[in-house]
Amino acid sequence: MAWLLLAPAVLWLAILLLYLRPMRAAWREPTLRHPVLIIESDDWGPGPPGHALALRRLTDCLIAFRDNAGRSPVMTLGLTLSLPDGAAMEASGFADYRSRPFTDPAYSWILEAIRAGIAAGVFAPQLHGMAHYWPDVLLRAARSDTAVRDWLARGDGMETESLPSPLQSRWIDATSLPSSPLPPPAIEAAAREEIACFTGLLGSPPEVAVPPTFIWTSVVERAWAEAGLRCLVTPGRRYDCRDGAGRPTGPDGRIHNGERGVGGLLYLVRDDYFEPAYGHQAGRALAALEEKTAQGRPCLLETHRFNFTGEQAEVAFSTLGEMLTQAQSRFPNLRFTSSAELAKQYRDRGDWLEPRLGRRYAAWLARLRRMPRFWKLARLSGLGFVLAGVGKCLA
Ligand SMILES: [Zn+2]
């Protein structure tokens, strides 16, 4: 009879052993004391002059809000630092890749609007890339694909999100699928070049990079780290190639906030979305903030330039305003910050990190509830009840 009484404990132990690694990783991730909201906006860079107006309007919108520490919301701007020069490429019969840098006088209005937003404390520039593709791969595609040549003919209206998805990845050779690696010396030179270019453009080196399409390799990660980068925004896992169907793929395993990568880069996780042009409402972002707060994690909302410059811009601006209004009223302890500053908190074990065991345990439990297979087993076996009971004792 005694073994019958012991059976649940043996089952719980088996479940715990099976999930020991992800449970330990979830525990090791620091817990934040406050709700933290960062709006991460990618794909800004050279474009039509109207983009400067969108940036000024974003600045006006963001500056109207404050957290209880007096800080305005921060929108990180993932910058691409050049656009292809389609006319020059066509004139060469697509023999050579040519580009126009962000420093071209045609883009000065956009650059000035970005600098003004940085000075106002509402924009935080991040490195997205010298380009949103690998130039030789784009050039080869242009030689064989009329759609790519048509795209190159759009001038400053080129939006890289209109390119075939594999071409938008900068750090792989997606000429054919599955993708193949690029030569490491070429990657290293390109990583150094884009960091130098960013530094020249804005007067200080980038602290944070967001790899285009979230595909990057350990070679580029090391090169960025050696060139002074400190933080990498990830989707919570690593993708370093594309499979035969063009889907991003890579080694298994989750990435956690505060984890260190190759060369010591600190990882952040961005896996919530705010794309009003796709119909995302304020409520979706607020639900993400609530969930991340319960987990003691920051809420990094991914968004893109096209929301605020395209046909849906009016909707995007009003949804952004509504989201920030509600975030301010529903989360009194909310902290607005940038990804670079958040990374510093993790790196320095700053005062935003929760030291109290009971709070850390509650956040850990909320994280475990988001591990679907584990939590299903825990619930069915009664282990979930035990874990929740421990949390009540620690509270
Ligand atoms: Zn992008």
Q: State pLDDT tens for residues 57-113.
A: 999 999 999 998 999 999 999 999 999 999 999 999 999 999 999 999 999 999 999
| Residue 305 pLDDT greater than 90, yes or no | yes
Mean pLDDT value of segment 42-52: 96
CA–centroid distance, 61 to ligand 1, in Å, is: 23
CA–centroid distance, 41 to ligand 1, in Å, is: 9
Mean pLDDT value of segment 48-60: 97
CA–centroid distance, 360 to ligand 1, in Å, is: 34
DSSP reduced 3-state for 261: coil
| Residue 309 pLDDT greater than 80, yes or no | yes
| Residue 6 pLDDT greater than 90, yes or no | no
| Residue 263 pLDDT greater than 80, yes or no | yes
pLDDT-derived band of residue 192, with 50, 70 and 90 as boundaries? very high
CA–centroid distance, 104 to ligand 1, in Å, is: 21
CA–centroid distance, 168 to ligand 1, in Å, is: 8
CA–centroid distance, 167 to ligand 1, in Å, is: 12
- Nearest C-alpha neighbor of 327 from the set 272, 386, 380: 272
- Nearest C-alpha neighbor of 151 from the set 86, 95, 101: 86
Q: Which residues surround ligand 1, an ion (CB under 5 A)?
A: 42-43, 212
CA–centroid distance, 211 to ligand 1, in Å, is: 8
Mean pLDDT value of segment 299-323: 97
Mean pLDDT value of segment 239-264: 95
Per-residue pLDDT of 116-155, as tens digits, reads: 999 999 999 999 999 999 999 999 999 999 999 999 999 8
This prediction's pTM:
0.95
CA–centroid distance, 208 to ligand 1, in Å, is: 14
CA–centroid distance, 78 to ligand 1, in Å, is: 7
Helices (H), 301-356: 305-309, 313-330, 339-348
Q: What is the DSSP letter of 119?
A: H
